[in-house]
Structure 1
């Protein structure tokens, strides 16, 4: 939890459900609809805890999203040390997908694994973008959606902060 403008906020949604099935059933986001298979989805990975799929807005030949099935709010700056295992798992799955789907880009490190911080996210459910090869991402897309440090947080930067034991990243003016 962190303070911004005198308020406390957690990355956990206001309503936390006891079972994963209930959490998925009550998830109001488009990702909830995908998890419930209410909308078409091209699955890249699924296990008991995580789900990965192709983005409907492909910014690169491989444009995937990796999410925890249990909803956490999309705010990488508010993640705390207790969220480290989730972020590590998201990264591991994203790397596996990149290596499988775009092996040449993977070998050349021609990929991005990035989160959008608030207010630059469109779905309020924690998700990690996996894009490859980024050498094929347009300059416009890079500047508008994935500029490192401006509109996107690299997964390794988030992991470094969490491994350092730092809590939520302080917001300017707080």
Structure 2
């Protein structure tokens, strides 16, 4: 990750929030969660309430607020989160990367106030409720591509 997109440079990042479940998972304080990906900055694990056959969350190790707290300096972070999500799908035999959904719940519709990218595949197999919860162009869900566009324009 470049210094520009580094979490260390972020004013919305702190090192660790003990009260945040995603901070505890990302920093291996929750041993019951299997990490599908782990590097210096990000982790990926299965969503506990999957909305698709493959539903993963990509989470920064350092506490970062929701997508509304991001700015132009976070574009690289979001792009890297997307890369980790796609790579995790490929490692789990998802080859059609056109039939996926990558995005964030938009405040106040976030269940956890720690940035997390939803990675869902195949998007064509989302159930009725999941199609509503992860609906593109809604007030409560923004795709990763849309978020990047928004951040670049700010």
Same fold (TM over 0.5): yes
Verify: 1:45 aligned to 2:34, yes or no. no
Contact in 2 for aligned 1:91/1:155 (Cα 8 Å): yes
Structure 2: unaligned runs, 5 residues or longer: 1-9
Verify: 1:105 aligned to 2:96, yes or no. yes
Where 1:125 maps in the other structure, the secondary structure is: coil
Where 2:63 maps in the other structure, the secondary structure is: coil
Superposed displacement of residue 57, structure 1: 0.7
Deviations 1:83-139 (A, max 9, x none): 111111111111111222142332xx1110010010111111000000001111112
Distance 1:32 1:136 in 2: 30
1:116 to 105, 111, 124: 105
1:22-171 counterparts in 2 under 5 A?
Answer: 23-24=15-16, 26-35=17-26, 36-74=28-66, 76-106=67-97, 109-143=98-132, 145-150=133-138, 151-164=140-153, 166=154
Distance 1:135 1:105 in 2: 11
Distance 1:87 1:42 in 2: 22
Structure 1 residues 117 and 11, CA gap change in structure 2 (3 angstroms): farther
Deviation beyond 6 Å, 4+ runs, structure 1: none
Task: Figure out how many residues of one structure are paired with residues of the other and give that number.
Answer: 143
| Larger displacement relative to structure 2 (77-86 or 125-134) | 77-86
Give 1 or 2 for the bigger CA radius of gyration. Answer: 1
Superposed displacement of residue 11, structure 1: 7.5
TM-score for the superposition, normalised by structure 2 = 0.84
Structure 1 residues 149 and 78, CA gap change in structure 2 (3 angstroms): farther
